[in-house]
């Protein structure tokens, strides 16, 4: 859960959240040494400031639809907390109870719609019923045409189905609705990568990276495309950046080390290529994960992109080939 939350926030937002938490805790502890009547009120105010700051940090990561929903839930609650802490401290317990009651009631009042459609679409996907899965999302998008995540999910279904042009249109719609959508540009890059349109994919991946430089996925996709284009130095720069962003799983670290081996071989930096071969073997567990994933009937488009890379990794691990052979693959 914590890992998913940190991935959701990204490095910069997570750091801001930790700074807010640390500053609040430090100031509150320091005030414990002060014997004044106003100290509890200031400590409560610090907690309120932290909650508001945390809400802003997390809210900035949400889509506009979800952000509006949570504002409707939390703003009245914060108002009640403020009244109880600052304006009417003698009624603090009453106001805090009211705030909690409002949050619980508002969660039901402003509940997210579409959960049933997502569940139904996933059930259809498991049965390879792509048309029915898309129809579920079509009806939801018709009802909620401004929710970016609906288009993103439908695009992912379409990509599994092999309908890349239709998936591309959904990502373009995401960008139209939000020109700063890194997810939209990243999706366009992935579609064009699957279509082997590498120059076009590079343009979209570069824009995604500019919009979300702290997201390892954006740097990873950009570096993978640059590997395909043979731009070795750019591959090194962006994939090293991705590793510095703490890639969350061995599967993707495995591919990153493969591309870095190839890039350093092309740059004739053989010692660095050897270092990444060592790291590749340390992430060997990711190989069996990829092999299992690629056996799925729904992994056709993914196999087209990385199946050859996975074969190369296996050959490197069992020492059937050397890193000199990777450069020609």
Q: Under a CB-based contact definition with an 8 Å cutoff, are residues 202 and 190 in contact?
A: no
Output the six-digit token pair for 131. Answer: 């048309």
Amino acid 33: pLDDT: 73
Cα distances from 257 to residues 204, 261, 314, in angstroms, run 23, 6, 13
Of 58, 60, 55, nearest in space to 76 by CA:
55
pLDDT at 32 over 80: no
Q: What is the pLDDT of residues 110-127, one digit of tens each?
A: 455 556 788 888 888 888
Cβ count near 13 (within 10 Å)? 17
Residue 194 DSSP symbol: H
Asked whether residue 6 carries a pLDDT value surpassing 50, the answer given is yes
Average pLDDT over every residue of 52-61: 72
**pLDDT by residue (tens digit) across 63-82?**
555 665 566 666 666 666 66
Q: Report the distance separating Cα 236 and Cα 234, nearest Å.
A: 5
pLDDT of residue 19: 84
Instruction: Give, as one character, the DSSP assignment of residue 298.
Output: G
Q: What is d(CA 273, CA 8) in angstroms, rounded to the nearest whole number?
A: 32
The pLDDT score that the predictor gives to residue 17 is 75
Per-residue pLDDT band for 276 (boundaries 50, 70, 90) equals very high
Render pLDDT for 188-212 as a digit per residue (tens, 0 to 9).
999 999 999 999 999 999 999 999 9
Six-digit token string for 44:
């409560």
Count the neighbouring beta carbons within 10 Å of the beta carbon of residue 17.
18
pLDDT for residue 171 is more than 70: yes
Least Cα distance to 260 among 281, 284, 280 occurs for 280
| pLDDT over 80 (residue 95) | no
Residue range 206-233, pLDDT digits in tens: 999 999 998 899 999 999 999 999 999 9
Domain boundaries, the chain: 2-109
Residue 286 burial (CB count, 10 A): 20
CA dist., res. 247 & res. 302, Å (int): 19
Sign of the CA dihedral running 318, 319, 323, 325: negative
pLDDT band at 132 (very low <50, low <70, confident <90, very high): very high
CA distance 108 to 101: 11
User: Is the model more confident about 137 or about 325?
Assistant: 137
Do residues 191 and 171 make contact, with C-beta atoms less than 8 angstroms apart? yes
What mean pLDDT, rounded, does the chain reach? 83
Handedness of CA 230, 233, 234, 237 (dihedral sign): positive
Q: Which has the higher per-residue pLDDT, 300 or 277?
A: 277
**pLDDT recorded at residue 288:** 92
């Amino acid at each position: 859960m914590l890992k998913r939350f940190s991935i959701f926030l990204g490095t910069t937002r997570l750091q801001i959240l930790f700074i807010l938490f640390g500053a609040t805790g430090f100031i509150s502890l320091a005030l414990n040494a002060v014997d004044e009547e106003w100290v509890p009120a200031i400590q409560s105010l610090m907690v309120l400031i932290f909650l508001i700051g945390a809400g802003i940090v997390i809210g900035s990561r949400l889509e506009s639809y979800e952000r509006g929903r949570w504002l409707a839930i939390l703003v009245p609650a914060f108002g009640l907390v403020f009244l109880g802490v600052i304006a009417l401290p003698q009624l603090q317990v009453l106001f805090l109870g009211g705030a909690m009651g409002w949050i619980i009631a508002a969660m039901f009042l402003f509940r997210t719609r579409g959960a049933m459609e997502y569940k139904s679409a996933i059930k259809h996907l498991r049965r390879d019923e792509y048309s029915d899965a898309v129809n579920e999302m079509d009806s939801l998008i018709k009802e909620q045409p401004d929710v970016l995540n609906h288009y993103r999910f439908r695009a992912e279904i379409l990509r599994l189905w092999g309908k890349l042009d239709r998936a591309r249109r959904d990502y373009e719609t995401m960008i139209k609705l939000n020109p700063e959508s890194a997810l939209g540009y990243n999706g366009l890059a992935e579609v064009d990568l699957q279509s082997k349109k590498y120059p076009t994919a590079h343009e979209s991946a570069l824009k995604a990276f500019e919009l979300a430089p702290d997201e390892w996925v954006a740097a990873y996709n950009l570096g993978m495309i640059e590997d395909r284009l043979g731009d070795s130095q750019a591959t090194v720069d962006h994939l090293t950046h991705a590793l510095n962003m703490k890639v969350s799983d061995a599967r993707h670290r495995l591919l990153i080390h493969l591309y870095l081996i190839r890039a350093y071989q092309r740059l004739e930096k053989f010692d660095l290529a050897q270092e990444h071969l060592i790291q590749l073997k340390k992430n060997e567990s990711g190989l069996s994960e990829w092999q299992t994933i690629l056996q799925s009937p729904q992994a056709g488009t993914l196999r087209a992109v990385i199946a050859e890379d996975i074969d190369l990794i296996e050959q490197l691990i069992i020492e059937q080939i050397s890193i000199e052979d990777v450069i020609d693959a």
